[in-house]
Amino acid sequence: MRIAVDPTAAQPAELLDHDVVTSLDVTVPAGTSVSDLAAVLGPVGELDAEGDDVAAAHVRVAVSWLRDTAHAEGADAGWDERFEGMLAFAGQRGWVTGDADARTVRAHVVPVG
């Protein structure tokens, strides 16, 4: 899965490739600042950054946002099981925090362009 975030877009966050549950990253246009990214995340999650280097940052993505958005985009009947498998894998590496509706999963921020 990929979350494309563009602070200049009318809809700043968009879930892409919701069927790909073997990876998760957040892409931003090259030159996006940490503060610009943090300002537009909203329900997607929270920025986890030390300093001003957006390429070294992560986003703690709300699991509920991922699930709700994927279903709104037509995730198939087996998607939830595959997604839970991804979360189990991420949890073994310490990338999942919280519980129930407050769970988040860590995603790398990748500048593109």
The tens digit of pLDDT for each residue in 1-27 reads: 999 999 999 889 999 999 999 999 999
Q: Which structural domain, as residue segments, surrounds residue 101?
A: 2-112
pLDDT of residue 81: 95
Is the pLDDT score of 99 beyond 90?
Answer: no
The answer to whether 45 and 65 are in contact (CB under 8 A) is yes
Question: How confident is the model over 51-83, as pLDDT tens digits?
Answer: 899 999 999 999 999 999 999 999 998 999 999
- With H, G, I as helix, E, B as strand and everything else as coil, classify residue 94: coil
In the chain the first and final C-alpha atoms are separated, in Å, by 19
The tally of domains found in the chain comes to 1
DSSP per-residue letters across 18-78: TT--S--EEEEETT--HHHHHHH-GGGEEEE-SSS-GGG-EEEEEHHHHHHHHHHTT--TT
